[in-house]
Chains A and B, each alone.
Chain A
């Protein structure tokens, strides 16, 4: 059925396409080790003629890049924890417990998934402005907690969880909270993990919201901090700019390679079928 030539052709094609994905990243790395003069004038030079670490030293010393990365990590992790806890509780309550007005709440939450975020963008800004919370961690974390995606995802999971297991625990004298934490939660781990990965990536990579709600250099996230540098003092300094982006990119890429298996599993799990 499948000829050897066909197989080779497909591998060759796949390799060429792989180069299209990798070359820009490699070019970023290569440039980050060149001085600005060489970067601008030397043309196609895959490896630097004069290998220099100066760009990295400069970026680490004169730009709060480590602070920005810690901000991004802190905001991403705190936000994710908050979302996971709050969403899991709500989803379980709606799926299994006698919550009043359950039907109304469920349709309201699911309906909210249809609403584009651009609707809340400016009024949310004004809300935080009124509370004097712009340029704080609160403004970088709290807005993400309203997203109903996780409630919906876990609600579906809990609905499919065998009721008999919970009932058995109830008969043994466990209360709601014990049933939830001892019986239901452990089995929900993979779904919760999926929600955590999606939430973290969403917060970590968000651009416009942190861009308009933070103003002081020490409150920037890595994404917005780099953008400000690109538009500002690094505009004509490709070597330094590429060192900065490399510093930001390498941990993300490594984490991604490690975590992609759970991520891909998660994609399957979100019920996109």
Chain B
């Protein structure tokens, strides 16, 4: 068997070749090309691109360069969105899963579908709906506040309300997905563990802490990492709802990268910013993975 049968190896390769072709053209080459672009002074309008080595990266870390502000202000805004949204997406997602699971069987399907429904609409629909609900003058929420004799809230134009609005819209849109994954995980927890803890006289809360949470830890980790990555990549919500405002205070890193590339036409610097952003995302995923694994 050790002797390689060349004919067989050839026919077998045909199975993998189509994917390998796409993988090479649309992933491998772009990665290398991206690194190459990031080492050039690459103005989209100019035919000549001067090689600058790590110059673009140096500029990002040089406090005197405009790129420094562009990158780190954007990164700080992205971080804020991640920190505000991810805990809610994970913890409330779990709470919804527990709630749905605790309902009588004939209600489960209805509520699961209802909480999951908004996941089916696209980001522009989410943004448009919430812009309208949160509208300062004619919005549903402010109308009710004014009815109660309260002042309307400038949801999209003032801090911290702009963040609140973006987080509300995001949670409404995507939390159902986390909930569904967690419901599946909850259903997989073995009945025996619950029975054993019931015999030990554990109450509902103790069961949650000592039985449920440890059993679903791997799924929680998955939800945590995917939510973090999704929040890191946030673009549509601030682009459509606040347009980065008020001022530049909700302008996330990805928006700055897109502006630098397509408004300023500076491909070299924007490619360098993308590579750094990706590097940060990889580091955060690895750290989250390590931190949650270590406890076991």
A: residues with CB less than 8 A from B are 7, 10-11, 13-14, 17-18, 20-25, 27-28, 31, 39-41, 43-44, 85-87, 89-90, 92-94, 97-100, 105, 109, 112, 114-127, 142-143, 145-146, 148, 151, 176, 180, 204-205, 207-208, 212, 222-224, 226-227, 230-231, 238, 241-242, 245, 248-249, 252-253, 255-257, 260, 264, 267-268, 272-273
* Shortest Cβ-Cβ A-B pairs, 3 listed: A93-B15, A256-B120, A97-B12
Given the complex of chains A and B, what is the CA–CA distance between A90 and B185 in angstroms?
Answer: 30
Given known pairs A90-B20, A98-B5, A212-B262, the reply for A260 and B116 (CB within 8 Å) is yes
Would you call A14 and B111 a contact (CB within 8 A)?
yes
A31 touching B8 in the complex, CB below 8 Å, given contacts A116-B278, A223-B123, A260-B116:
no
Q: Which residues of A contact B11 (CB under 8 A)?
A: 97, 176
Segment with Cβ contacts to A, from B57-65, B80-88, B159-167, B228-236: B228-236
Query: Contacts A207-B235, A208-B258 given: A11-B172 contact, CB under 8 Å?
Result: no
Let me know if A146 and B115 touch, CB within 8 A: no
Contact with A along B274-294 (1 / 0, CB 8 A): 110110011001000000000
Complex interface: chain A residues within 8 A of B282 (CB): 114-116
Contact at B30–A120, with CB atoms within 8 Å?
yes
Q: Which residues of chain B have a CB within 8 Å of any CB of chain A?
A: 4-5, 8-9, 11-16, 18-20, 22-23, 25-27, 29-31, 33-34, 37, 96, 99-100, 102-104, 107, 111, 113-125, 127-133, 135, 137-138, 140, 143-144, 147, 172, 176, 180-181, 184-185, 188, 218-219, 222, 229, 232-233, 235-236, 240, 254, 257-258, 261-262, 267, 270-271, 274-275, 277-278, 281-282, 285
**B79 CB → nearest A CB, Å:** 15
**Once bound together, how far apart are the Cα atoms of A44 and B152, in whole Å?**
14
Most A CB atoms within 10 A — which of B23, B107, B222?
A: B23
8 Å CB contact of A264 from B99, B100, B184, B240: B184
Q: Is the CB of B34 within 8 A of A120?
A: yes
Contact A118 B29 (CB under 8 A): no
Contact A109 B23 (CB under 8 A): yes
